Structure 1
Amino acid sequence: MINSRSSDTYIRGFEYLQMVRGFALESRMVDVMENLRDSTIICNWIGQNIDSVNAQLSTYLQACHECFYPEERRNIQIFGVPLAQSLGIDGMCNIWMAPITILIDVGRMAPEDWLGLVAHEYAHAHVASVGHNQEFANVLFHLCLGLGFPLPIWETETMEKNLRSWPYCRSMTDPLAFWRGEIVID
């Protein structure tokens, strides 16, 4: 007999994943089903824990907002989500959504690095651009100052390359371990 509570958390997790797929640039970007062995465990974990993950991400989003005057802040929403492993990205900002939507794969980095990734994606949202140009650099520098991150080294020939992964986040060896509930957050 199937436990109805377990079934409810699975359904909640599955529905959450379907919802955030609608915020991605392409629905295939959110795909835990590519890993069928873990998909049930992941959906159950998401069904039970995604509210606390998203609450933490919202706190970080608010910290980024606080670096700007209210009239300069864009309408942005943020969600934690396991992004398709084949993409190899930690987060993405969909500037074509209203509100602008940030998706963060919190399983791909240590919890203490989440704020850095939120700040990076927030800079994209703030300038409404996917590139790492001068305008993005100015906003990211502002965020780094406001949030206490080290500033990127300003060298014109390598700036764009450096900005792609600034602030630096340590990658996890098994990004799905978090989504399976094997890594505990405080």
Structure 2
Amino acid sequence: MSNVQIDDAYTRGVEYLEMVRCFVLEPRMVDVLEPGFGMGEKYPQLLREHRTWGYSKGVGMRWCKAPALRRSHFLICNWIGENIDTVNAQLNTYLQACHECFHPQERRDIRVFAVPLAQSLGIDGFCNILIVPTTILIDVGRVAQEDWLSLVAHEYAHAHVGTSGHNQQFASILCHLCLGLGLEPPTWEAVTMESSLRTWPYCKSTINPLGFWIGEG
């Protein structure tokens, strides 16, 4: 792969991350673009110690010389630039499957995107009900690929209800989705509803969440 191809993919990745950052409550929820991201990780500095090409938001849509990027940051942005359309297409297939569980007039205006969420948050997905359209963000690197549908269904239930809690209304919608999608419907005791529904349907966690985002998943 030529340097031009790598640069193009990296630019697309950064632009994508800048876009999805607009859909979260706090920009640092998507910390791949934060200064110092990757510090202390297992990856060494990118390729050369002196200078490399990087994207600078402050100078607009062009390349400028910047301090050496951490290898993890570069690999994630480059992988996203090359592969995010394919991942998002799969998530949108699952989103459509959720829509199909409701009559057209009952469907909400919802969109979904894959994004590496800050690992410090410890969450696999996030539904922003405060913006229009309601936006679901899924960190597909944190769960096994066969469980992506389950994760989308959980966040879709939040989007459909329009609340962040795990109350009876959420439970009813999630049960409806699970039955329609062929997933195991939730069960709970009244006193454990919140804790039980918070992690339903069960999704198998990955060992290295960021591994997926650099092509190791």
TM-score band by shorter chain is over 0.9
4+ aligned runs moved over 6 Å, structure 1: none
Instruction: Tell me, in whole angstroms, the C-alpha distance in 2 between the residues paired with 1:170 and 1:154.
Output: 20
Instruction: Tell me, in whole angstroms, the C-alpha distance in 1 between the residues paired with 2:198 and 2:210.
Output: 23
* Stretches of structure 2 lacking an aligned partner (at least 5 in a row): 39-69
Contact 2:178 2:185 in 1 (8 A): yes
Instruction: Tell me, in whole angstroms, the C-alpha distance in 2 between the residues paired with 1:171 and 1:76.
Output: 25
RMSD (Å), alpha carbons:
0.9
Higher helix proportion (structure 1 or 2): 1
Q: What is residue 18 of structure 1 aligned with on the other side?
A: 18
Percent identity of the aligned residues? Answer: 67
Contact 2:188 2:196 in 1 (8 A): no
Q: What is residue 63 of structure 2 aligned with on the other side?
A: none
1:155 aligned onto 2:176: no
Q: 1:141 aligns with which of 175, 186, 202?
A: 175
1:166 aligned onto 2:200: yes
Q: What is residue 129 of structure 2 aligned with on the other side?
A: 95
Q: 1:42 aligns with which of 62, 76, 86?
A: 76
Instruction: Tell me, in whole angstroms, the C-alpha distance in 1 between the residues paired with 2:25 and 2:98.
Output: 23
Per-residue CA shift, 1:114-164, capped at 9, x if unaligned? Answer: 000000000000000000011100000000110111121131111111100
Instruction: Tell me, in whole angstroms, the C-alpha distance in 2 between the residues paired with 1:60 and 1:8.
Output: 29
Aligned residues, how many? 182
Q: Which amino acid counterpart does residue 94 of structure 2 have in structure 1?
A: Y
Per-residue CA shift, 1:67-109, capped at 9, x if unaligned? Answer: 0000010000100000001101000000011000000000000
Q: Which amino acid counterpart does residue 18 of structure 1 have in structure 2?
A: E
Instruction: Tell me, in whole angstroms, the C-alpha distance in 2 between the residues paired with 1:41 and 1:154.
Output: 42
